[in-house]
Structure 1
Amino acid sequence: MWGRRPARGTIVKICGLRTIDALEASIEAGADLAGFVFFEKSPRHLTLDAARALVARAAGRIGMVALTVDADDERLAAIIAAIQPDFLQFHGHEAPERVREAKARFKLPVIKAIGVGGREDLVAAKAYAEADMILYDAKPSPGAARPGGMGRAFDWGLLNEAPREKPWLLSGGLSPETVAEAVRITGAPGVDVSSGVESAPGQKDPSRIAAFLHAARGAAGGEAR
């Protein structure tokens, strides 16, 4: 678990990986975490069989994150049995109590996503004392079919008021073109990207993955390998 940036620079998570090519590009570029999405409404959704094929290539080479949205215990158990992730990521409306219950049952660290639209949303993060890491993302529009920021940025300056007691990641509107400025403004110890390194929804671009790692690590004075 990271309490601060590793010596080589910003922690980088590439989320929504669906192909071996994208996974290999992420590993080669030096990403720390690979995110696998288990949410049928997302264009990045993976079946358990597809996830197993990716994990066979990823295990021991990169940290693995299973992203779910308001999943019940049965669903979480099936995902964990299939891929044995290093982290669970809760990207829905999971309450602090749900984080605590899941950690107790599954014995895995939890990343909790918090949608940020204003200062009042940062108060919510303080309630998630049981989460091992917080991910700050853009708050979805009212009535949105999917959670998350949909590639939109929020006012990164708000994070100057965010709790800093635990590791955290910045997401929302990040790309090779914007990540250096985002890290400069927020001092984020880690960043999470999905659509910002895609050529189309769900289709990762290896060249953009490499460019993102280079920009993110350069912003914090580190180097991509």
Structure 2
Amino acid sequence: MHVDVKICGLTDETAVAAVRDAGAEYAGFVFFPPSPRHLSAARAAALAAPLRGQATVVALTVDADDQAFDDIFDTFGPDMLQLHGQESPERIAALKRRYTVPVMKMIPVREARDLGAVEAYLAVADRILFDAKAPADATRPGGLGLSFDWRLLAGLDLPVPFMLSGGLDPDVVGEAIRIARPNAVDVSSGVETAPGVKDPSAIARFVKAVRAAEAARDRSMERIPS
């Protein structure tokens, strides 16, 4: 089973070239001013141009208002939205009607009961992203480089694909895939040398590790008696 790769928080041409060369399926651009990876819509559009037609270009937002979305779509034109805040199912449905692109909703996870939040979004989200729940004193949502117990996702059967994020890097992503069996994985700080500064070699190693884990999973499935 193929595992898609998303490299998120791209901020410069070197990172974009690394994503293109590695063959990642998703490229994420952040539109959230508190983040060190935040870009203007115009800057993101220029960076994303070489990826069009090869990778799905994703706009990550956090509880953005209508004006922010209009600017993102008028100037940047994402293939997909990634909603990383407290957006309700009704908000997602409205955004899909207005902009007619798929939407991925982030669900923050620390313990098993956190998975209960996904139920409300299954009828409207095209993909679910499970990320580590941010610490209580965090100024930004998401895992912030932290991980959660991947065993919480083992055996999860959803009607939509799910992506795994939070604390992933080239050294641990294979184990995460083996345990959680996601449809896709997402990385940002795990392939950086500093916040917002991507390491091309780490991007290449991350994608290579995913492909190796994917192949190992396929081999293990072939050994299961029918």
Q: d(CA) in 1 for partners of 2:78 and 2:27?
A: 10
Structure having the larger proportion of residues in helix: 2
Cα deviation 1:25-54 (Å, max 9, x = unaligned)? 011101000000000000110112211211
Q: d(CA) in 1 for partners of 2:106 and 2:41?
A: 22
Matched, 1:117 2:110: yes
Runs of 4+ in 1 over 3 A off after TM superposition: none
Q: d(CA) in 2 for partners of 1:99 and 1:169?
A: 18
Q: Which has the higher contact order (CA 8 A, sep 6+)?
A: 1
In 2, are the aligned partners of 1:126 and 1:163 still within 8 Å (CA)? no
For 2:195, which of 194, 201, 223 is the aligned residue? 201
* 1:145 corresponds to: 139
Identity %: 52
Displacement of 1:90 in angstroms is 0.2
Output the aligned Cα RMSD.
Answer: 1.2
**SS in structure 2 of the partner of residue 192 of structure 1:** strand
For 2:63, which of 67, 70, 73 is the aligned residue? 70
- Unaligned stretches of 5+ residues in structure 2: 217-226
Displacement of 1:144 in angstroms is 1.3
**SS in structure 2 of the partner of residue 221 of structure 1:** helix
TM-score (norm 2): 0.92
Cα deviation 1:116-172 (Å, max 9, x = unaligned)? 011111111111020000000000111310000001110000012644211110000
Matched, 1:32 2:28: no
In 2, are the aligned partners of 1:122 and 1:162 still within 8 Å (CA)? no
Q: d(CA) in 1 for partners of 2:105 and 2:25?
A: 18
Aligned length: 215
* 1:41 corresponds to: 34
- Unaligned stretches of 5+ residues in structure 1: none
**SS in structure 2 of the partner of residue 217 of structure 1:** helix
Q: d(CA) in 2 for partners of 1:187 and 1:211?
A: 19
Q: d(CA) in 2 for partners of 1:177 and 1:127?
A: 34
